[in-house]
Structure 1
Amino acid sequence: MEKILYIKASPRGNESKSTAIADAYLAELRERIPALLVDTLDLSAERLPEFDGDKVAAKIAVLIGQAHQGRQKTAWDEITGIANRFIEADRYLMAVPMWNGGIPYRLKQFIDLIHQPGLLWGLDPQTGYFGLLKNKKAVLTLTSGAFGASMPSPAFGIDHHSTYLCDWLNQAGVTDITTIRFQPTLLNPDPAGAFEAAVAEAIFLAGRE
Structure 2
Amino acid sequence: MTTLLHIECSPRKQRSASLEVARSFIERYQQNHPQTQVETLDLWNMSLADLDEEAMNAKYAVLAGTPLTATQQTAWDQLKALAAPLYRADVLVLSVPLWNFSIPYKLKHFIDLVSHQDILFSFDPQSGLQGLLVGKTAVVAYARGLDYSAQSSTPAERFDFQKPFVEAWLNFIGVHDVHALLVEKTILGNEVDRDSRRDASLQAQHLADSLTR
Structure 1-normalised TM-score?
0.94
**Kept in 2: contact 1:6–1:41 (CA 8 A):** yes
Q: Hey, what's the Cα distance between the residues in 2 that align with 1:197 and 1:146?
A: 15
Q: Hey, what's the Cα distance between the residues in 2 that align with 1:135 and 1:156?
A: 30
Unaligned runs of 5+ in 1: none
200, 203, 213: which one pairs with 1:201? 203
Unaligned runs of 5+ in 2: none
Q: Hey, what's the Cα distance between the residues in 2 that align with 1:62 and 1:207?
A: 42
* Greater Cα offset, 186-195 or 130-139: 186-195
* Greater Cα offset, 187-196 or 1-10: 187-196
1:192 equivalent in structure 2: 194
* Greater Cα offset, 141-150 or 114-123: 141-150
Equivalent residues in 2 for 1:21-170, closer than 5 Å:
21-149=21-149, 150-152=151-153, 154=155, 158-170=159-171
Q: Hey, what's the Cα distance between the residues in 1 that align with 2:166 and 2:122?
A: 18
**Cα–Cα, structure 1 residues 139 and 71, in superposed 2: closer, same or farther, change >3 Å?**
same
**Kept in 2: contact 1:146–1:156 (CA 8 A):** no
**Cα–Cα, structure 1 residues 197 and 130, in superposed 2: closer, same or farther, change >3 Å?**
same
**Cα–Cα, structure 1 residues 156 and 172, in superposed 2: closer, same or farther, change >3 Å?**
closer
Q: Hey, what's the Cα distance between the residues in 1 that align with 2:51 and 2:162?
A: 22
**Kept in 1: contact 2:130–2:174 (CA 8 A):** yes
Aligned residues: 209
Q: Hey, what's the Cα distance between the residues in 1 that align with 2:3 and 2:113?
A: 21
**Kept in 2: contact 1:101–1:159 (CA 8 A):** yes
**Kept in 2: contact 1:147–1:157 (CA 8 A):** no
Q: Hey, what's the Cα distance between the residues in 2 that align with 1:88 and 1:4?
A: 9
Report the CA distance between 1:124 and its aligned residue: 2.6
Q: Hey, what's the Cα distance between the residues in 1 that align with 2:6 and 2:96?
A: 11
SS in 1 for 2:159: coil
For 1:186, give the aligned amino acid. Answer: I
For 2:161, give the aligned amino acid. Answer: H
Q: Hey, what's the Cα distance between the residues in 2 that align with 1:145 and 1:156?
A: 12
**Cα–Cα, structure 1 residues 155 and 148, in superposed 2: closer, same or farther, change >3 Å?**
closer
CA RMSD of aligned residues (A): 1.6
Matched, 1:178 2:200: no
Q: Hey, what's the Cα distance between the residues in 1 that align with 2:123 and 2:117?
A: 8
Deviations 1:64-117 (A, max 9, x none): 111211211110011111111222211100000001111100011111111111
Structure 2-normalised TM-score?
0.93
Report the CA distance between 1:152 and its aligned residue: 4.4
**Kept in 2: contact 1:5–1:89 (CA 8 A):** yes
**Cα–Cα, structure 1 residues 95 and 127, in superposed 2: closer, same or farther, change >3 Å?**
same
Report the CA distance between 1:33 and its aligned residue: 0.7
SS in 1 for 2:142: strand
